[in-house]
Amino acid sequence: MNKNLQHLNTRTNKPSKFKKIEPTVALDLAKHRPDKYLPLPSNKELELLNIDEMVMVGFCNREDVWITVEALDDNNGTVYGKIVGNVIKMQGLQRGQRVQFEKRHIVSIKYNDDDDDDDE
């Protein structure tokens, strides 16, 4: 877990001020909308998830939300991050809000391509 987060709870040594959200489980989304959500990230991809990568979670109201990963707790599969896009349908969520959720909710990962600049 990234100890550089500004909002660490000193009692539990875990990030605080992160709203716990319950997006739809990725497998359920893929089952009902395979054209949109397949292929899902593999377990290996989820294990290799890094800070500053963007992940997408989906909700049953058919709204997808992109979140930048700020911290990971590999012991329980919790992801801590910040919403990067506008949220239209999900009341109580907004751009810039910090949230926490489980890796099993991730439907897509947008990787940081630091190597792109080296090709020139």
Mean pLDDT of 61-75: 91
Supply the range of the domain harboring residue 103: 17-111
The answer to whether residue 8 scores a pLDDT higher than 70 is no
pTM score, two decimals? Answer: 0.80
* Within-domain flag for 47: yes
- Average pLDDT of the chain is 84
Q: What is the CATH number of the domain that holds 90?
A: 2.30.30
CA distance 50 to 91: 28
* Within-domain flag for 5: no
* Within-domain flag for 70: yes
State pLDDT tens for residues 77-89. 999 999 998 888 8
* Within-domain flag for 22: yes
Residue 49 CB burial class (10 angstroms; 0-12, 13-18, ≥19) = middle
* Within-domain flag for 106: yes
Tally of domains within the chain: 1
* Within-domain flag for 120: no
Distances (CA, A) of 66 to 1, 11, 23, 57, 104: 20, 30, 12, 7, 15
State pLDDT tens for residues 13-44. 566 688 999 999 999 999 999 999 999 999 99
* Within-domain flag for 24: yes
* Within-domain flag for 2: no
Residue 51: band (very low, low, confident or very high) from pLDDT cuts 50, 70, 90: very high
Q: Which two tokens stand for residue 53?
A: 């990568």
The answer to whether residue 48 scores a pLDDT higher than 80 is yes
